[in-house]
Chains A and B, each alone.
Chain A
Amino acid sequence: MFRFLNLTLNGVSLGMIYAAVALALVMIWRATRIVNFAQGGMLMFTTFIAWDLAQRHHINYWVALAVAVGAGLVIGAVAERLLVRPVENGPPLNAVIVTLGLLIFLQALAGMIWGNAQAHSYSPAYSIVGYSAGDRTLLFSPNDVYIVTAVLIVVVVLYLLFQRTSLGLQMRAAAFSPEVARLLGVRVGRLLTLGWAIAAALGALAGILAAGTQTGYVQTVGPFDALLVYGFTAAVIGGLDSPIGAVIGGLLLGIVLSYADSYVSNNIQTMYAFLILIAVLMVRPNGLFSRSAARRV
């Protein structure tokens, strides 16, 4: 029972990170109907920037985080303007290939700058020593509290932005019905750029949170691909179209992976995610929370 509780807590913490990645994917999917495969590369790159600042140059964790999130904003905006905009009205496959190309480019670039092979460790923001309950130690640390809180705050801020502000209303209108939005004077192009920028910044946060997790995340270029797989799976569980679905999908995935890791085997975590992904696509291809009927990838 205690083990079960521990695994659940651990799953919630991991799930919040997956939820953040999923939310970034969902934002871009809703706005431009593109699955942004470059998300994994973008958040890898920004995490390396933060790591470089924090570990090599001993700059304050929060400053490094802010710089990485800022870099995310820039990378997202530039990617939309320079790479995605020209293929936006073409066949959907073009956009998929462009985002895959960007992923490979960012990985290669990171490899050139920081090296592909050696593993780096990233110090978390807070202690990763679990809280103690009586004489036992919980698998939940101050750093996990930080992760859950940080993602929750971002989710609430994004919710308020989209539901309560004129800017958010315009972004939703541009996503649902770009031509009508344009007729009403919405600057659709700028809002798409902004949407990509926000999504990439959210990814940057998720990458840094993941890099400092208690599992002793060792930073090479590779593991961030797994993070993209988890984020995508979480988004598909939620239905790709639903921000709330992305968050719940992320939590579900985190918890299930945490159980599978411990009760089954911990060597094939990414494969569990793929199994869940395939199962969801077979049983409920529209996800748990989506209303739309058709999908193209």
Chain B
Amino acid sequence: MLELEDVVTTYGAVRALDGVSLTVPDGTITAVLGANGAGKTTLLRSVNGLVRPRSGRIRYAGKDLTRTKVDNVVRAGIAHVPEGRGVITELTVEENLRLGALWRRNRRETQASLTEVYGMFPPLAERRNRSADTLSGGERQMLAVSRALMSRPKLLLLDEPSLGLAPRVTAQIMATLRRLRERQSLTVVLVEQNARSALSVADQAIVLNLGRVVASGAASELAADEKLRHAYLGF
């Protein structure tokens, strides 16, 4: 279980997160919604240690992560798929994937994970020795998600997986997330501007505005709340 308690994260004078509390139960998908600049990405960056919260507490599986550095957060079982350019284009597809599993240091496990993600995303298997530069936007997103899965995370932080993708590809990625939750009881925090597709896979959701939580609840409830949809979600 991931717990955020009154987290405040600032960039200079800007309070990007202004007292956010959130509980993500194991094996669920939680959508974090809101407009540009609402603090969604900062929330993920605070959890994984890329930025240090100014106050508040972040706990995962009973451990306090508030002051943990990013390279140790991964080792606690939390993988992060960053927005946009998460794929290292100078490396090949397979090198990108191997990086995802590197800190496990077990060849056999790495090989098993590789087989698994290639099975999940066959286009990656075909291009395994090509430079990641040659992949399309959708394939890059697949690669970024696969690479995060290579570490066999218990918690997956996904930042805008639908950004710039065709709706069909977005649907494919959402379906994969749901499958993973069912099969491996993966916990997912999904940051999205595309509220409609995020709510369609999520169990619960929060809506951020200017660093504060303005709404939270079951995904189906939020999707049914017409006022909220008009005010913050844009559909």
Residues of A within 8 A of B (CB): 166, 169-170, 172-173, 176-177, 179-188
Q: A185, B102: Cβ atoms under 8 Å?
A: yes
Chain B residues, CB < 8 A from A185:
71, 74-75, 102-103, 151
Q: A184, B74: Cβ atoms under 8 Å?
A: yes
Chain A residues, CB < 8 A from B50:
179, 182-183
Q: Which chain B residues (58-80) contact chain A, with CB distance < 8 Å?
A: 70-71, 74-75, 80
Is B181 on the interface with A (CB-CB < 8 A)?
no
Chain A residues, CB < 8 A from B74:
183-185
Residue in A177, A182, A183, A186 whose beta carbon sits within 8 Å of that of B102 in the complex? A186
Q: B102, A184: Cβ atoms under 8 Å?
A: yes
Closest to A187 in B: B71
Q: How far is the CA of A37 from the CA of B75 in the complex (A)?
A: 37
Q: B102, A170: Cβ atoms under 8 Å?
A: yes
Chain A residues, CB < 8 A from B80:
183
Chain B residues, CB < 8 A from A184:
74, 99-100, 102-103, 147, 151
Chain B residues, CB < 8 A from A188:
71
Chain A residues, CB < 8 A from B105:
166
Is B91 on the interface with A (CB-CB < 8 A)?
yes
Q: How far is the CA of A226 from the CA of B70 in the complex (A)?
A: 43
Is B90 on the interface with A (CB-CB < 8 A)?
yes
Q: How far is the CA of A187 from the CA of B85 in the complex (A)?
A: 20
Chain B residues, CB < 8 A from A181:
88, 99
Q: A176, B99: Cβ atoms under 8 Å?
A: no
Closest to A190 in B: B71
Chain B residues, CB < 8 A from A166:
98, 102, 105
Is B95 on the interface with A (CB-CB < 8 A)?
yes
Residues of B within 8 A of A (CB): 48, 50, 70-71, 74-75, 80, 82, 85-88, 90-91, 95, 98-100, 102-103, 105, 147, 151
Q: How far is the CA of A184 from the CA of B75 in the complex (A)?
A: 9
Given A179-B50, A183-B50, do A169 and B88 touch, yes or no (CB 8 Å)? no
CB distance from A193 to the nearest CB of B (A): 14
Q: How far is the CA of A30 from the CA of B211 in the complex (A)?
A: 37
Among B74, B87, B99, B100, residue most surrounded by chain A Cβ atoms (within 10 Å): B99
Residue in B48, B86, B102 whose beta carbon sits within 8 Å of that of A180 in the complex? B86
Chain A residues, CB < 8 A from B98:
166, 169
Chain B residues, CB < 8 A from A186:
71, 99, 102
Given A183-B50, A185-B75, do A176 and B102 touch, yes or no (CB 8 Å)? no
Among B95, B98, B102, residue most surrounded by chain A Cβ atoms (within 10 Å): B102
Closest to B70 in A: A182
Closest to B80 in A: A183
Chain A residues, CB < 8 A from B91:
169, 172-173, 176
Q: How far is the CA of A113 from the CA of B82 in the complex (A)?
A: 52
Chain A residues, CB < 8 A from B95:
169, 172
Q: A180, B82: Cβ atoms under 8 Å?
A: yes
CB distance from B156 to the nearest CB of A (A): 12
Q: How far is the CA of A184 from the CA of B100 in the complex (A)?
A: 6
Chain B residues, CB < 8 A from A182:
50, 70-71
Given A166-B102, A181-B99, A183-B48, do A176 and B88 touch, yes or no (CB 8 Å)? yes
